[in-house]
Chains A and B, each alone.
Chain A
Amino acid sequence: MIINKFVVARIPKVHCFLFPFFLFFLISYSLSSFGQTAEAEKNFTQCKACHTIGGGRLVGPDLKGVTSKYPQSWLIKFIQNSQNLIKSGDKNAVKVFNEYNKIPMPSHNLTDAQVKDILLYIKNGGKLPAGVSVKKAPIKTAVATTQQVNQEDRYFEQQRKGSRNLTISAIVFGILLLLSIFDLLFSHYLKSKWIHYVIILSALWILGEWSWDFTTGLGRQQNYQPDQPIWFSHKVHAGQNQINCQYCHFTVETSMHAGIPPASVCMNCHSQVKEGKRTGKKEIAKIYAAIKEKKPIQWVKVDNLPDFVYFNHSQHVKVGKINCTECHGDVAKMDQVAEVHELSMGWCLDCHRKHKVQFRSNKFYAEYKKLHEELRAGKIDKVTVKMIGGEDCAKCHY
């Protein structure tokens, strides 16, 4: 077994930063052209968590007119890494920082061009100019309607029902099996023996299927939907507010763990947003309590893998460019997150067999010369994970 629980961290006294601030990783796609692009709107979704354009003060200042208030070069510096600017003693930066309750703005991994792009977007009042269209937002914009919620629920309900039906029929057939054997041997109620045989055979079939289903399911938790210590809704955060997954799960591209956000990340917004529409003050107050009592929030892990499996998020999300939803389902529609897939080895391998590797775009794969040749020659049309060793045991078990 791997002992991989998160150790309650002791903070090394090595590089002491005055303010713990948080890296904020973004998928930064290259710009297709200069000037304002559709990407600006996408990038601005990060900003929306704390800012509005003309909608008044939120966690951070209203951004309307910010482009004329400060020089562009200063804005770029501040957006990329506000703490550096504050530390260097820049008067404007310190002023803004103090004015907004000393909540550090997370540093953003944006290029100069991307920031300029966003600034243009802000200047336009948060609208895209004509002709530029949104290609595809990482999370589908969806105002959650009651109907959709029901759909989600129905999905899980169906799954549960499916297994329940099988159990019921297994019990029924089990009884039938016993009855027919009894009748066959002792009571002889039914005269034609072929009925017994049909019943026995079909009962064995059903029982076999049920036990297969049961035993392979041992240790699996599909549809597992535990109650969390805080009634936190992904539907509200990721769905309605469209906060990017990586705003909270910010280590997904750098680490094997996607990362459960520290309470301080919650505080980026919830230092201002103190009341929820559905839960009132009760749930949000639990964050404040955790910080006050210095007791980390004990979330319940939903997607569990056995200890002898090594799984790395960054391998899949950053290198494999797999969308979070492929394994975790459409979290943006779930109030309480559930395990959507069975997370079995067969399920992993199915994907490894089908999924294409970023073979041409990632220079790492240049080493696979033979496969490149075959691709060029047209002998194969794609390189799947399986073809580069994705079925090897020791890729995940060591």
Chain B
Amino acid sequence: MEKKYWQSLEIYDEIVKNSVSNKESMPEFSIDGLDETEIKGKSSRRDFLKMMGFSVGAVALVSSCQMPVRKAIPLLNRPQELIPGVPNYYATTFFDGDEYCSILVKTRESRPIKIEGNDLSQISQRGTSAKVQASVLNLYDDVRLKGPVKGGNQNNWKTIDAEIKGKLEILKNDDKEVVLMTSTIISPTTRKLIDEFVIAYPNVKWIQYDSLPMSAMRKANKINFEKDTIPYYHFENADVMVGFNADFLGTWLMPVTFSKQFSKGRKLKDGQTKMSRLYQFETNMSLTGSNADYRYQIKPSEEASVLLKLYNILAEKTGNVVYNTTEVKTDVSKVAKDLLNSKGKSLVVSGTNDTKIQLMVNAINSLLDNYGKTIDLNTAVNLKQGVESDIMLAISGMQSGKVGGVLFYNVNPVYDCVHKDKLTKALKNLPLKVSFATTMDETALLCDYVCPDNNYLESWNDAEPINGFYSFTQPTIRPIFDTRQFQESLLRWMDSDQSFSDYLEKNWEAIFFPKQKTFNSFDKFWFKCKKDGVYNIASEEQSQPVFKGGKLKAEKPKIGALELALYENISIGTGRYSNNPWLQEMPDPVTTATWDNYVTVSPAFAKAQGLQQEDVVKINDSLELPVLIQPGQTEETIGIALGYGRSNAGKVGDGVGKNVYGLINISTGLKNLLGTPVTLEKTSKTYSLALTQTHHVMEGRPIVRETVLSSFIKDPTSGNEEHVKFLKDENFSLYPDPKFNAFQWGLSVDLNSCTGCSNCVISCQAENNVAVVGKDQVKLGRIMQWIRIDRYYSEMSDNPEVFHMPVMCLQCDNAPCENVCPVAALSHSDEGLSQVTYNRCIGTRYCMNNCPYKVRRFNWYEFVNNNKFDYNLNSDLGKLVLNPDVTVRQRGVVEKCNSCEQRIQEKKLLAKSENRELRDGEILTACQQNCPTDAIQFGNLLDKGSNVSRTNDTGRMYHLLESLHTLPSQSYLTKVRNKKA
């Protein structure tokens, strides 16, 4: 049966009505938002004369101008490793308090411009996430503090150090507590330093605070295994995975690592026919849910009952104790059967921060014998160490006067704490308030002193994200401003003159160097650590701790009440990077919305309440947010993303969306994102959202192709019959046959691996100097990102199947864009690439009209030095992130993906100068290099042995809209779902 694919509910409705008409679909460009004169398009004779006079004047001016004098300024003293024009890579570590990633930083002329994954890391395995990619822009953020601040005014370190030290001494003598509130700290050396600080000032109490903690899991493991840890997961060893509200491919715990693991179990390469299966039970449509083979919708209050039901079936089958439970309609028998069939090769996880639920998950995993196989309790994950009770204690201490001072490092509780009103009040009367924030954020604003920390790209540090796996942070640039690392501030206040880099080195020499035997000199060992960026100490095999179960109890699901499910979205996360324009403009992979948060409601709920997309609703009579109708959202629930509504993030992030941290469910004492009962009321207002959803409609043609595993095993070309037919057909072409000398660059996207995580979008943006255009322009369909990730739905509108499909320029050999260019700005290279010559383009946009894939972007405005687009390209600091190898396009020019031509040329030159042949896999495009699922392959199609040729050489390969005979070099591989046909 032919499936009907749809992109928006309007289209779906039309499919249902069986009257899908192309005419009515959204226009590619609308005239909304244009000036009156622009719309009318009138130009009078006087305008003509004015223009005439202007042009004559301009010509006269140009001809009388001298060429500008350009300077070449060499260094006075060149450091040996610095060669102008040649990038240097430094291995370092990204850790922002939530997410860990081992990375390589590309620097040009000493400025970091791009982040790549570190392939030596066994944890992140050369993968990165969109947030990690975008983090390089935070270094060049104008909002960063330029020096230490006292009482709102810039001051110098000497004064501030003396005053803070004085106050700390007074508080010590008065025996008043000082709270050092930090984010989770995974650096063993920093932990040691904090311990020493506590010895120097015994009145200091160190607490760790996470915006979104995972304390329930720690508690449950403490109860079940007497281990207060988060275990390390091995999704790659699991044949069957079941997720309960855990977006492990998007935001949960270690998304990059889990994506790598997940994709490993689902690769259908080189004849492999085994594939893991993912069941997802969830409230909102998450990225993981959109990649699940089977997805079930549950309400937050049903989760416990569903888990217990699943447990009971498993327990019954294995002869264990069964507990009483309320009946829920969700049918879990299929899941249970599948889990039992793959005992020891399955994995159940839940992202809900509720001890009850985590205990059930542990019990199920224990029944299934998963410990030691897919869950490793002995290798503790050190992320998310925060405990909710600590901050409560601290606040009550401040209220009672027991606490006399507070130091905030890498936390912003005034913004993201549930008790922020109490905290704000309590802070008022404290004698000492210090923040180490890099910007004047909500918390720093209330502090007497701000001692700005360095950006992580200017810092020294180490990290131990997982026990035994170490990772190093080294500076890739000197501190741009007069900032100082948090650790160094502590050292100064302990009356030490030591720099933290020395402290770090000494610590490693004393503690870790003796533990290894490979190196006999510390210098060599330390050099190796810094060079690789990672260092592992092999731990001894231990048996997993014994499971000690207890009684499981599930509360009755609420019926009829509207439940809220908050979530962390993939770009903004907890709100730390709100001021990053790349992340703000990144379309959400599921809703395709940019620049806002919104209330997601199910189509049925919307119909019942009479809600339309973009209607503003009132939540709990106070919070007003627009509605986004989200297929797959559970009935009687709504979802809202956290991390928005910052008031002191900076000019980009301020006032974007609404802050919903106050709606977190704290009924159990833990911060639970799910299950807050809310009321929703329709208002008469509307608020427009910037969705990229209905641009680039492909007019209902077969774009994504899919099959199921059983059919794929029988016939690798199943689902891809059109391609077979296309090959059999005789195709006549008026174009000459394409000819290539040595290379034909091709890129293949495995739709089965791609999860839609959007890492490639930001990686491409950073590599290719792609401009940010702002919400208004996105609404007009003028987003500039060279890769768009199309999201298609199929089947039912209440619980659809989802596809994510990255589309970049397909480099057609019969390119329709090239032959319509009136000024020959587009040409085809002898290596199969469709080239744009920006300096020749006059902006007729014929090529955009003629491109069937709509991958070309037009510069409607000058995005550089334009106050109307006040993002990174409008500031001297922000421009330092630009890649000097790629032209910054100007107004009136069409641009598009060029398969990272600069990278191709760079590697070709490297091979030439080393007098050798180009190796397969040497050229990595920006989208391919850090893909956390290795979904993208790039290489020479003429070489039949190359990775991309072998990947294409399965029945799954097809080209987009191949019936047009555009002969694209980029190809796609059919998506295979592991479900029943």
Binding site for B on A (CB under 8 A): 1-15, 17, 20-23, 214, 218-219, 221, 224, 226, 251, 253-257, 259-264, 290-291, 294-301, 304, 306-308, 310, 312, 314-315, 318-319, 361-371, 387-389, 392-395, 397-398
Contact A21:B80 (CB < 8 A) given known A9-B109, A226-B69: yes
Residues on B with beta carbons closer than 8 Å to the beta carbon of A307: 887
Number of A-B contacts (CB under 8 A): 220
User: When A214-B63, A226-B69 are in contact, do A259 and B83 touch as well, CB less than 8 Å?
Assistant: yes
Contact B74 A14, beta carbon cutoff 8 Å: no
A305: min CB distance to chain B, Å: 10
Within 8 Å CB of B480, what residues of A? 10
Given known contacts A2-B884, A22-B78, A394 and B829 CB-to-CB distance under 8 angstroms: yes
Jot down 24 A-B pairs with beta carbons below 8 A, ordered by A. Answer: A5-B71, A6-B72, A9-B82, A10-B110, A11-B82, A12-B110, A20-B78, A251-B84, A251-B86, A254-B86, A256-B86, A259-B74, A259-B83, A304-B67, A310-B902, A318-B913, A319-B913, A364-B917, A367-B743, A392-B831, A393-B827, A394-B829, A394-B837, A395-B905
In the complex, the answer to whether B879 meets A3 with C-beta atoms within 8 Å is yes
User: Which single member of A4, A366, A395 contacts B884 (CB below 8 Å)?
Assistant: A4
- Whether A259 touches B84, Cβ cut-off 8 Å, given contacts A2-B888, A304-B67, A319-B909, is yes
Let me know if B79 is at the binding interface, CB within 8 A.
yes
Query: Is A291 within 8 A of B71, CB to CB?
Result: no
Residue of B77, B474, B831, B905 most packed against chain A (CB within 10 A): B77
**Closest B residue by C-beta to A264:** B77
B62 to chain A, nearest CB (A): 7
Query: Which residue of the partner chain, among B90, B742, B831, B882, contacts A369 with CB atoms under 8 Å?
Result: B742
Q: Is the CB of A299 within 8 A of B743?
A: no
Q: Which of A5, A226, A261, A361 has the most CB of B within 10 A?
A: A5
A12 touches B887 (CB 8 A): no
For residue A13, which residue of chain B has the nearest CB?
A: B475
Say yes or no: is B880 at the interface (Cβ < 8 Å to chain A). Answer: yes
Contact check, A264 vs B80: say whether CB atoms are below 8 A apart.
no
Q: B476 contacts the other chain (Cβ, under 8 Å)?
A: yes
Pick the contact of A304 from B70, B79, B474 — CB < 8 Å?
Answer: B70
Of B63, B882, B911, the contact of A3 (CB 8 Å cutoff): B882
How many angstroms from the CA of A22 to the CA of B84 in the assembled complex? 13
Closest to B68 in A: A304
Residues of A within 8 A of B915 (CB): 361-364
Are B909 and A296 neighbours in the complex by a CB distance under 8 Å? no
Q: Which 6 A-B pairs have the closest CB atoms?
A: A394-B835, A255-B85, A10-B478, A260-B74, A367-B742, A389-B830
- Check if B838 is an interface residue, CB within 8 A of chain A: yes
Given contacts A6-B73, A22-B78, A364-B915, contact A394 B901 (CB under 8 A): yes
With A362-B915, A367-B742 as known contacts, state yes or no: A14 contacts B85, CB within 8 Å.
no
Evaluate whether A264 and B78 lie within 8 angstroms (CB atoms) in the complex, with A6-B73, A14-B90, A394-B833 already known.
yes
A296 to B73, CA, bound (A): 7
List chain B residues, Cβ under 8 A from A254. 83, 86
Query: What residues of A have a CB within 8 angstroms of the CB of B840 in the complex?
Result: 393
**Cα separation A393 to B905 with both chains bound (whole Å):** 13
Cβ-defined contact, A251 with B475, below 8 A:
no
- With a cutoff of 8 Å between Cβ atoms, the chain A residues found around residue B898 in the complex are 394, 398
Task: Report yes or no: A12 in contact with B75, Cβ–Cβ below 8 A.
Answer: no
**Which residue in chain B gives the minimum CB-CB distance to A215?**
B63
B74, B741, B909: the one within 8 Å of A261 (CB)? B74
Given A12-B90, A395-B905, check contact A308 B887 (CB 8 Å): yes
Given contacts A15-B527, A256-B85, A298-B71, 17 further A-B contacts (CB under 8 A): A1-B864, A12-B88, A12-B90, A226-B69, A255-B85, A304-B70, A310-B905, A312-B909, A315-B909, A319-B913, A389-B829, A392-B830, A394-B833, A394-B837, A397-B838, A398-B835, A398-B898
**A7:B917 contact, CB within 8 angstroms:** no
Q: Is the CB of B75 within 8 A of A392?
A: no
Task: Provide the residues of chain B in CB contact with A387, threshold 8 Å.
Answer: 741
Given that A290-B76, A319-B913 are contacting pairs, would A392 and B835 also be in contact in the complex, using a CB cutoff of 8 Å? yes
Contacts of B75 in A (CB 8 A): 9, 262, 296
Contacts of A251 in B (CB 8 A): 83-86
CB-nearest residue of chain A to B65: A218
A304 vs B890: C-alpha distance in the bound complex, in angstroms? Answer: 20
**A22 x B80 contact (CB < 8 A):** yes
Of B74, B743, B833, the contact of A263 (CB 8 Å cutoff):
B74
> Which B residue's beta carbon lies closest to that of A361?
B915
Residues of chain B with a CB closer than 8 A to A388's CB: 741-742, 830
B44 touches A (CB below 8 Å): no
Interface check B528, CB cutoff 8 A: no
Question: Contact: A308 with B76, CB < 8 Å?
Answer: no
Chain A residue contacts of B902, Cβ below 8 A: 310, 398
- Chain B 44-63 residues near chain A, CB threshold 8 A: 62-63
Please list the residues of chain B having a beta carbon within 8 angstroms of any beta carbon in chain A. Answer: 62-63, 67, 69-86, 88, 90, 107, 109-111, 474-478, 480, 501, 527, 530, 741-743, 827, 829-831, 833, 835-840, 864, 879-880, 882, 884-888, 890, 898, 901-902, 905, 908-909, 911-913, 915-918
Task: Indicate if the CB atoms of A300 and B71 lie closer than 8 Å.
Answer: yes
Chain B residue contacts of A226, Cβ below 8 A: 69
CA distance A301 to B67 in the complex (A): 12
A364-B74 contact, Cβ under 8 Å, with A17-B79, A310-B885, A397-B837: no
Residue in A closest to B827 when the chains form the complex, CB atoms: A393
Q: Is the CB of B80 within 8 A of A255?
A: no
In angstroms, how far is the closest chain A Cβ from the Cβ of B512? 20
A172 to chain B, nearest CB (A): 20
The 8 Å CB contact of A296, one of B76, B85, B887, is B76
Complex contact B80–A11 (CB within 8 A): no
What residues of chain A lie closer than 8 Å to B110, measured between beta carbons?
7, 9-12
Select which of A8, A224, A366, A393 is within 8 A of B837 by beta carbon. Answer: A393
Q: Most chain-A Cβ atoms within 10 A of its Cβ — which of B63, B83, B838?
A: B83
Residues from chain B with Cβ under 8 Å of A394 in the complex: 827, 829, 833, 835-837, 898, 901
8 Å CB contact of B887 from A2, A299, A389: A2
Judge whether B71 and A299 touch: CB under 8 Å: yes
Nearest-Cβ distance from residue B861 to partner chain A, whole angstroms: 15
A226 to B646, CA, bound (A): 53
- On whether the beta carbons of A13 and B478 are closer than 8 Å, the reply is yes
Cβ of A70 to closest chain B Cβ, rounded Å: 26
Question: Are A260's CB and B838's CB within 8 A?
Answer: no
Expressed in whole angstroms, the minimum distance between the Cβ of A15 and any Cβ of chain B is 6
Which residues of chain A are near B88, meaning CB under 8 Å? 12
Cα(A96)–Cα(B178), bound, Å: 58
Please determine whether B76 and A364 come into contact, CB atoms closer than 8 angstroms: no
CB-based contact B912/A362 at 8 Å:
yes
State in angstroms the CA–CA spacing of A155 and B890 once bound together. 39
Query: Using Cβ atoms and an 8 Å threshold, which residues of chain A touch B477?
Result: 10, 12
A290 to chain B, nearest CB (A): 7
Q: Which of B85, B527, B530, B838 has the most A CB atoms < 10 Å from its CB?
A: B85
Is the beta-carbon distance between B475 and A12 smaller than 8 angstroms? yes
Instruction: Quote the shortest CB–CB distance from B899 to chain A (angstroms).
Output: 9
* Max chain A C-beta neighbours (<10 A), residue from B72, B80, B110, B827: B72
A371:B741 contact, CB within 8 angstroms: yes
Q: How far is the CB of B73 from chain A (nearest CB, A)?
A: 5
In the complex, which residues of chain B have a beta carbon less than 8 angstroms from the beta carbon of A398? 835, 885-887, 898, 901-902, 905
With A363-B917, A388-B742, A392-B827 known as contacts, the answer to whether A299 contacts B78 (CB < 8 A) is no
Give the chain A neighbours of B885 by CB distance below 8 A: 2, 310, 398
Q: Check B62–A218 contact: CB distance below 8 A.
A: yes
> Would you call B74 and A299 a contact (CB within 8 A)?
yes
Chain A residues within an 8 Å CB radius of B475: 12-14
Which B residue sits closest to A369, measured CB to CB? Answer: B742
CA gap between A224 and B67 in the complex, in Å: 10
In the complex, A341→B567 CA distance in Å?
A: 62
Chain B residues, Cβ within 8 Å of A397: 835, 837-839, 887
Minimum distance in angstroms from A302 CB to a CB of chain B: 9
Q: Could you tell me if B79 and A11 are in contact, using CB atoms closer than 8 angstroms?
A: yes
With a CB–CB cut-off of 8 A, which chain B residues contact A2?
Answer: 884-888
